Structure 1
Amino acid sequence: MKKLTMIATAAMAFSLFASATLSHPASAATKTSADFTDLSTADAALKAKIDAMLTQGIFEGVSDSSFGINQNMTRAQFAKVATLIYDVKVDPSVKVSSFSDVHAEDAANGWAIPYIEAAKKAGLIDGVTDTTFEPGASVTAGQLDTLLLKGLGKKVSTTGSPWYADAVKQATDLGIHPTGKTGDQLAIRADLVQSSYTAQQAFDKLTLVSITKAAAGSDTKSVQVTFNRNVDTSKATLVLKNGSTVVPTKATWSTDAQAVTLTTDLALAAGDYTVTLGGLDASAIQTGTASFSVAAAPSDSGNTGNSGNSGNVSFVGSYTLADVLDSGLTDTATGTDGFIDKATAQDPTKSKLAKEVKIKVTSGGEEVAVPGIIQSIFSSDPSVVKVGLDSATHRGYILGNKAGTADISVMVQVGSGNAKQLHVTVTVKSDSVAAKKIKADNTTIEQSMNGAASTSFNAFNKMDLTITDNYDQTYEGAEVANYNFALGTAFTTNKIKGDAAKGDVGSVSVDPTGKVVVTGNVTSFELTAVTSSGQTATSFVTITP
């Protein structure tokens, strides 16, 4: 048996990672093992492997109805399989072979020219002689083992006796060697399926994906990321961060899937950035993170921010929030009994349980009044802090979800100056919302019976309450009633008096919504608002007939 001549090095094979373009025949990609009559009795495991490789275009049948499972494997067939399982780039436009015995008009083997040439260029396989390839010649199990091992970067000794002894041993250890065959026996297509499938699995583990470089574009509104090999773009995700803050991007992949451009809405602020690859199986990634820096523009002046000649920009104060979502507090915002609804309570741009992120601009040491200047706002951990942006007013808001801390990043722009990214750490506590201070702006209330036996009014409205909670958030007027599911304000009545000349004193009642009902002979009483933490505010109410 003639020994198959092969030249392969791991370095050469591994330097040519790219998706192979299939050229023979197009219909094969749609077939499954069920389409071939000679596979009807094949075991399920073999069929599964055939289906996987049919889907990838690595195999096709020898005819529309026959897979040729028991036919001998040819050198042309193996050249194709070798290039595809080892991700060697194949140029389908190549129609002329470097071997004198391989011709495009050869119905049996002409289709294999692009694969033979690609395999030769990659150093995976050579001719039988310098000028001939013998594409229709059969391949032995030992020859199959040797080429597959070299494609995996293994060193194979051929000096022993027989020459294939080392190849068979290594291939057997890796599960690549055709079961039950000696190295000098011919390999059939079933052997090629089993061996190449296992070799491809091993190869995929060896050829882990790595980010080789990440760098900001010249406009600092894009980041170019390159990889050592092609990437599965249907699964891959890229996350760009400035510190711990995620910067939203749009990804555009190159045609060979070995590079991606991440674009941002605004220019990247000066600072240190990381790009992290995700979405793939962790076992397929070797180096999934790359770092780069964006230099400060000449007009930048420190971490507090600077927008050209428009002044220094910084946050106002620090931020502490309650865990209003995780604690279930917003679940009690029923939209009834004067309460706001849950959707409003959980919307950072609408909820009084949220806080506005306030930005200060100074110029020449003096604070400058500016309208909303926030272009975008992001949370490093939305499960801790939710954020919202009112795009009409360019104001940003934050709402506590669960206890913890999160880095909040805002991009601001004052006038025509450069955009600047600012960061602030927000703390979310599990301490319940509670009133810290309460005040009644109306301490004297006058209400008329208008000749009726009773009258009613709303205590929240009439007292015109103002409450400041333990997170320094202030609720005024109707807001106290709207958020009483959180504030827990109740009302009591005292010193109810009537006209002695009219007999027994009437009654005063107050329900949970703050509705006060006065019935019968009542001329005055004290109405007191009591918070859940015990603070009080009192108004004196007089009733006229």
Structure 2
Amino acid sequence: MKRLIIFILSLTLLLPNFVLAQGEGISDIKEVIERGFLEKEGLDRKINRAELATVSIRLMGLEKSALSYKGKIYYKDIEKFQGGWAVPYISLAKEHGIMEGVSKDKFNPQYNVSYVEVLTVLMRILGYEDGIDFIDFPQDYYKKALEIGLGDMRISPNEKVTRMTVALTIEKALNSRLRDEDYTLLEKLDKVPQKEIIVEEIKLDNLKFNTSIAGIFSGELKGSSDFTGYRVALLSKKGRLYKEKILGKDGKFVINDFDIGLLPKIDGYKYEIYNSEGKLILSDNL
């Protein structure tokens, strides 16, 4: 009985500190909660890839674009995930180069993300670029995040993080300057007019592909009134570029005289289509 009383008294002494720590945590993520980047419920649970994609689109000021999204669905496993609510956020995150799938057809929306993955997404939103600001994952990415004051060296790069940790990191990102700019992400969201992107459903129509006698790949893009500056690339399935074509307004193209030898045929062919801003919008095997 005496031990039980001592235990209860000890717990009572510790409880105010616990409540205070909780209060301080919430106050430290005021902007995140008030602006709706993350909800304050469930901050103690791990964050998954679908939720991180959603947060990234909100941080880019593209929530309206997500709500009206009618573009391509890039991954087979996102439509059935929790009723498909994350489809537009994941699709836009891919189109803007913020997050990619774990494979060509799979995103793994339910998979819990690591601390360095969160840092990577936030640094991309701040304007830092893969292959320029960081190359080797995860070490370069983690090092860069620490260098710019976004990362916390007390947290392991591979640790699966809670929504609270993500919220605290977002708060840092909001008050971080964008790469090569003199204003913060928060100032950009508040003061710089956000260009709302109208996402059109682009389709490839009248596709013709033949390698029997002479190589020919042709088609016509549909879904926009002007395809000027769009680019169609013909590649091997391994990524070797054979030929590409810059499109005019009508979206029609013909690519011929590409390699149709035995090895290219064994490797197989695919196409990639990029919009005028250089974003990949369509790809498939031929």
TM-score, length of structure 2 as denominator length: 0.51
Q: Which has the higher contact order (CA 8 A, sep 6+)?
A: 2
2:194 is matched with 230
Give deviations 1:338-395, integer Å, cap 9, x for gaps. Answer: xxxxxxxxxxxxxxxxxxxxxxxxxxxxxxxxxxxxxxxxxxxxxxxxxxxxxxxxxx
CA distance in 2, matches of 1:203, 1:137: 30
The one-letter amino acid of 2:115's match is: A
Going from structure 1 to structure 2, the CA distance change for 1:59 and 1:44 (only over 3 Å counts) comes to: same
C-alpha contact (below 8 Å) 1:178/1:194 kept by paired residues: no
C-alpha contact (below 8 Å) 1:81/1:196 kept by paired residues: no
Match for residue 122 of structure 2 among 148, 173, 184:
148
RMSD over aligned Cα atoms? 2.9
1:100 is matched with 76
1:193 is matched with 167
Q: Does 1:157 align with 2:157?
A: no
C-alpha contact (below 8 Å) 1:141/1:178 kept by paired residues: no
1:442 is matched with none
Offset of 1:127 from its aligned partner? 0.9
CA distance in 2, matches of 1:73, 1:150: 19
Give deviations 1:26-79, integer Å, cap 9, x for gaps. Answer: xxxxxxxxxxxxx95544442124342222121125xxxxx2222221101110
C-alpha contact (below 8 Å) 2:28/2:168 kept by paired residues: yes
Structure 2 counterparts to residues 315-394 of structure 1, below 5 A? none
Going from structure 1 to structure 2, the CA distance change for 1:91 and 1:145 (only over 3 Å counts) comes to: closer
Structure 2 counterparts to residues 207-246 of structure 1, below 5 A? 229-230=193-194
Going from structure 1 to structure 2, the CA distance change for 1:91 and 1:144 (only over 3 Å counts) comes to: closer
CA distance in 1, matches of 2:90, 2:19: 31
1:54 is matched with 33
Unmatched 5+ stretches in structure 2:
1-17, 197-286
CA distance in 2, matches of 1:43, 1:169: 29
Match for residue 131 of structure 1 among 87, 105, 116:
105
Q: Does 1:113 align with 2:84?
A: no
Q: Does 1:166 align with 2:130?
A: no
Offset of 1:203 from its aligned partner? 5.2
Going from structure 1 to structure 2, the CA distance change for 1:106 and 1:168 (only over 3 Å counts) comes to: closer
CA distance in 1, matches of 2:54, 2:100: 13
CA distance in 2, matches of 1:178, 1:72: 18
CA distance in 2, matches of 1:76, 1:40: 30
Task: Quote the sequence identity (%).
Answer: 22
2:269 is matched with none
Higher Rg: 1
Q: Which has the higher strand share?
A: 1
The one-letter amino acid of 2:170's match is: S
Offset of 1:94 from its aligned partner? 3.3
The one-letter amino acid of 1:114's match is: P
SS at match of 1:91: helix
CA distance in 2, matches of 1:152, 1:193: 16
Match for residue 154 of structure 2 among 156, 171, 180:
180
Give deviations 1:488-520, integer Å, cap 9, x for gaps. Answer: xxxxxxxxxxxxxxxxxxxxxxxxxxxxxxxxx
Going from structure 1 to structure 2, the CA distance change for 1:49 and 1:84 (only over 3 Å counts) comes to: farther
Going from structure 1 to structure 2, the CA distance change for 1:130 and 1:172 (only over 3 Å counts) comes to: same
Offset of 1:126 from its aligned partner? 1.2
Going from structure 1 to structure 2, the CA distance change for 1:123 and 1:110 (only over 3 Å counts) comes to: same
Offset of 1:102 from its aligned partner? 0.7
- Which segments of structure 1 move beyond 6 Å, counting only runs of 4 or more? none
CA distance in 1, matches of 2:30, 2:152: 19
CA distance in 1, matches of 2:28, 2:88: 25
Match for residue 91 of structure 1 among 66, 79, 90:
66
C-alpha contact (below 8 Å) 2:32/2:170 kept by paired residues: no
CA distance in 2, matches of 1:40, 1:113: 37
Offset of 1:100 from its aligned partner? 0.4
C-alpha contact (below 8 Å) 1:74/1:139 kept by paired residues: yes
CA distance in 1, matches of 2:164, 2:192: 33
Q: Which has the higher helix share?
A: 2
The size of the alignment, in residue pairs, is 167
Unmatched 5+ stretches in structure 1:
1-38, 62-66, 210-226, 232-255, 257-545
